[in-house]
Structure 1
Amino acid sequence: MDLLKSLFVSASGLKAQNGRMRIIAENIANSDSTGRTPDQDPYRRKIPTFQNYFDKEIGGDVVELGKVVEDRSPFELKYEPGHPAADANGYVRQPNVNTLIETVDMREAQRSYEANLNVVEATRRMVQRTIDILRG
């Protein structure tokens, strides 16, 4: 039944966006996590990727969370001479996490999650109407 296929596809989207939101939450939570010593790197932002594959069982493409890659952009320096991670000049390397970008990414993930959820709900209603018609 094609309606069930749409449920599987939407469910894969829900799962992928849930994983994306988890990674974004980790980035936000660690946006102030510096190294403990001058030679230790601070937290490095993670970037979720997605990949699609053909699911033979349902006969369609589905999405899944792909590799999580590290953002290789440079760390910012902040002058904090008393910090344990400060270098000889008093600078501490800060995580390469921009909370504004993470917030926008979270909003986009939320909207995609909601869109997939709407498909699930619409499909459920259609299945229920079909069952009601067959009973009646």
Structure 2
Amino acid sequence: MMNTLRNLGLGLALLACCGGALAGDPPAPCMDPCVPPSKRPSTEAPASGERLRQQALDKLEQRFQEADLDRDGALTEEEARKAGLGYVANHFAEIDTARRGRVTFEDQRRYMAQRRRQAMAEPPQR
């Protein structure tokens, strides 16, 4: 009888902890006071579509700005390489259409948009 009560207690504790997750409902947000808020899983749905695209652009711009050590708003090919921005460094000549020896984030955005349009216009390769 004691084992049955203990198992019932554990089952109820598990049900309280998991909420409706056992019934197929989405999991409840983590409210464990031992887990710092910054470490708790997000309850927000993953980004998709235009929101995901904007998040990616924001992250790229942040990396670009971090690489711009002299804060002049542009990168040289050397700055891009040193910062590990291989895409910018490897395509520097194509991005730098004005042949200034430096590219802005807007130059990079234009180049990426151009490449995207080209990729969408090309028939898939087999």
- Which has the higher relative contact order, 1 or 2, with Cα contacts under 8 A spaced 6 or more apart? 1
What range is the shorter-chain TM-score in? under 0.3
TM-score (norm. length: structure 1) = 0.24
